Amino acid sequence: MAGHISWEHESDAALVRRVLAGDVEAYAGLVARYRDRLGRYAVHLLGNTADAEDALQETFVRAYRGLAGCATPERFGAWVFRILVNRCRTMGAQRSRRERVVMSNESMLGEADVAHPADRQAWAEAIRWALDRVSPEQREAFLLKHVEDLSYQEMVEVTGVRESALKMRVKRACETLRALLAEVERA
Partner 1 sequence: MRELEDELIERVAEALRQPVHLDAALDVRVMAEVRTRPLRRSNWFLRSRTIRVTPLGALALAAGVAALVLGTAFAALRLRPAPATVSAASAVPFVLVAPEARSVALVGDFNDWDTAATPLRATGLSGAWVVTVPLPPGRYRYAFVIDGMRWLPDPGAPRAPDDDFGTPNSVLTVGT
Partner 2 sequence: MNSMTRMGGLALTLISVLGRSAPAQDARLDRLAPDARAPVASLIDSARAAGLPAEPLVDRALEGASKGAAAPLIVAAVRRLSADLGRARDILGRAAGQAELAAAADALRAGAPPDVLVRLREALGVRRLAVPLGVTADLALLGVPADSAATIVITLARSLGDDDLLALQRDVERDVALGAAPLAAAGGMLDASPTGIDVTGAGTTRGTPSAPVRRKP
What is the contact surface with partner 2 in residues (CB under 8 A)? 62-63, 65-71, 82-83, 86-87, 89-90, 93-94, 97-98, 107, 111, 133-135, 137-138, 159-162, 165, 168-169, 172, 176, 179-180, 183
The window from 3-11, 62-70, 71-79, 157-165 that contacts partner 1 (CB under 8 A) reads: 62-70
Mention every residue, 6+ apart, whose C-beta is less than 8 A from residue 147.
40, 41, 44
Contact 26, 15 (CB under 8 A): yes
User: Is there binding between residue 14 and partner 1 (CB under 8 A)?
Assistant: no
User: Is there binding between residue 17 and partner 1 (CB under 8 A)?
Assistant: no
The entry of partner 1, partner 2, none that residue 182 binds, CB within 5 to 8 Å by partner kind: partner 1
The entry of partner 1, partner 2, none that residue 45 binds, CB within 5 to 8 Å by partner kind: none
Per-residue DSSP letter, 134: S
Contact 152, 142 (CB under 8 A): no
Q: Give the nearest distance from C-beta 151 to partner 1 in angstroms.
A: 15
Q: H or E stretch including 44?
A: helix 27-46
Distance between CA atoms of 75 and 160, rounded to whole angstroms? 16
Count of beta carbons in the 10 Å neighbourhood of residue 7:
20
The window from 6-14, 78-86, 155-163, 178-186 that contacts partner 1 (CB under 8 A) reads: 178-186
**Longest distance between any two alpha carbons in the chain, whole Å:** 59
Q: Which of 50, 48, 49, 60 is nearest to 84 (CA)?
A: 60
- The site for partner 1 (CB under 8 A) is made up of 19-20, 22, 24-25, 27-28, 31-32, 35-36, 39-40, 43-44, 49, 52-54, 56-57, 60-61, 64-65, 67-68, 94, 97-99, 101, 123-124, 127, 130-131, 143, 146-147, 174, 177-178, 181-182, 185
